Amino acid sequence: MDLMEKIFSLCKRRGFVFPSSEIYGGFGGFWDFGSLGVEVKNNIKSLWWKEVVHERKDVLGLDSAIILNPQVWRASGHTGPGFADPLVECRKCHHRFRKDDLKEEKCPDCDGGVTKEKKFNILVKTYIGPVEDTSTLSYLRGETCQGIFLNFKNVLNCFSPKVPFGIAQIGKAFRNEITPGNFIFRSREFDQMELEYFVKPGTDEKWHEYWIEKRLAWLIKLGLKRENLRLYEHPKEKLAHYSKRTVDIEYNFPFGWSELEGIANRTDFDLKNHSKSTGKDLSYYDAENKEKYYPYVIEPSVGVERIFLALLVDSYFEEPDKEGVRVILKLHPQIAPFKIAVFPLLANKPELVKKAREIYETLRSTFLTAWDDIGNIGKRYRRQDEIGTPWCVTVDYNTLEDETVTVRNRDSMTQIRVKKEELREYFQELIKP
Ligand code: GAP
């Protein structure tokens, strides 16, 4: 089994990720996140929000609608050729393919002839209103940032931020990807975390560099290994329609180096185009210098699922042991779904179970804590290692005498005894960022 298969299997078996609509045979490019997966996703999102919004004085949050006025996508250039995949279409079954994926000029599904390469838009269409015609055609957002540009004036009016400042948003984005794949790497529905950082034209290049460094440092802080990350400069001729310069942070996935996060210099493209298309002035007035201008925008943008996958790849280890192989997810404690697991040494000894339950209830009021009393202690450790729980607490007969417990470390497997009443403080110190 290769690493991607092992990760896929672990995710399904242990309740991180399930194929969506599985009992109907699945639905390509859509995934459901189980109890452990949703915790990891929430941890990624809240750490991003803390870093990008709460710990700064110059960034404001936003949660805008998924479906926007369809004219937005015309002004942003997304219904034009800019947000499209060049594809060929089978004349018989109408399936679409990337030309590079075809061995010959024939449809791999039905042998039909194929059209010349055309650009197909990847925005997901829907209809809003009582009739389904072109007048009600709308789109699920293909990127979250457009909601930010639309609210630029509202934010200025309410909070009077001074340039440079940012607006950040986390939310669903949808793309009718023609070739979804590599598990959750390329999905049709995903969570994006985007910051639009508005700067004075002329200072944009400096701020672009600043955000490239910041974002790289954050991904390393999250636990990703530096050697698995690299920067990729988009060649000028391949830049997105809105970009002056884009640098990707790539991750060394098992299927090759691929985009984890993009950091683009979007210039004043969006604010200017929305101004032009609505007649509303989306420029910024600098009262101190009595200057009016359209700010340039530096945009770090990343998918939660891509970080999720990179973290799994980075933290997956197999170590031979007495019983075969120990599988460990060496996740950063702030990312791990459970921080601690509590066990009674023997599940059939009520005095141990009672004591362990007390400790479990105390710890779970502060940390997400697992309870496990099935099978022998070795099996319980293995189960927790596989889902990344950094520490296991075992209550044994010594606990009843001296009020201490065994704390076992996931990565080193070392065990120490800690006083029951010191546990909370002990873990708080270890989990601290
Ligand atoms: N607003 C700019 C923008 O959307 P992008 O490079 O198309 O730029 C930004 O997307 C990030 O969103 C990517 O770096 C990736 O992390 C994530 N992303 C894009 N398409 C995705 C997909 N189909 N599945 C999962 N994540 C995706």
Q: What pLDDT digit, counting tens, does each position of 169-195 carry?
A: 999 999 999 889 999 999 999 999 999
70-79, 311-320, 331-340: the lowest-pLDDT one: 70-79
pLDDT reading at 403 higher than 70:
yes
Closest-lying ligand 1 atom to the alpha carbon of residue 143: 4
- Write the residue with the smallest CA distance to atom 19 of ligand 1: 303
Considering the chain, what is the average pLDDT of its residues? Answer: 95
Average pLDDT value for residue range 74-102: 81
SS3 letters for the chain?
A: CCHHHHHHHHHHHCCCEEECCHHHCCCCCCEEECHHHHHHHHHHHHHHHHHHHHCCCCEEEECCCCECCCHHHHHCCCCCHHHEEEEEEECCCCCEECHHHCCCCECCCCCCEECCCEEEECCEEEECCCCCCHHHEEEECCCCHHHHHHCHHHHHHHHCCCCCEEEEEEEEEECCCCCCECCCCECCEEEEEEEEEEECCCCHHHHHHHHHHHHHHHHHHCCCCHHHEEEEECCHHHCCCCCCEEEEEEEEECCEEEEEEEEEEEECHHHHHHHHHHCCCCCEEECCCCEEECCEEEEEEEEHHHHHHHHHHHHEEEEEECCEEEEEECCCCCCCCCCEEEEECCCCCHHHHHHHHHHHHHHHCCCCEEECCCCCHHHHHHHHHHCCCCEEEEECHHHHHHCEEEEEECCCCCEEEEEHHHHHHHHHHHHCC
pLDDT reported for residue 82: 63
Closest-lying ligand 1 atom to the alpha carbon of residue 177: 23
Q: Is the pTM of this model over 0.75?
A: yes
Give 77's pLDDT tier (boundaries 50, 70, 90): confident
Please give all residues whose beta carbon lies within 6 A of any atom in ligand 1, as ranges. 143, 145, 175, 177, 186-187, 190, 192, 194, 259-262, 299, 301-303, 305-306
pLDDT reported for residue 81: 66
pLDDT reported for residue 78: 86
Determine the distance separating the centroid of ligand 1 and the alpha carbon of 285, expressed in angstroms.
32
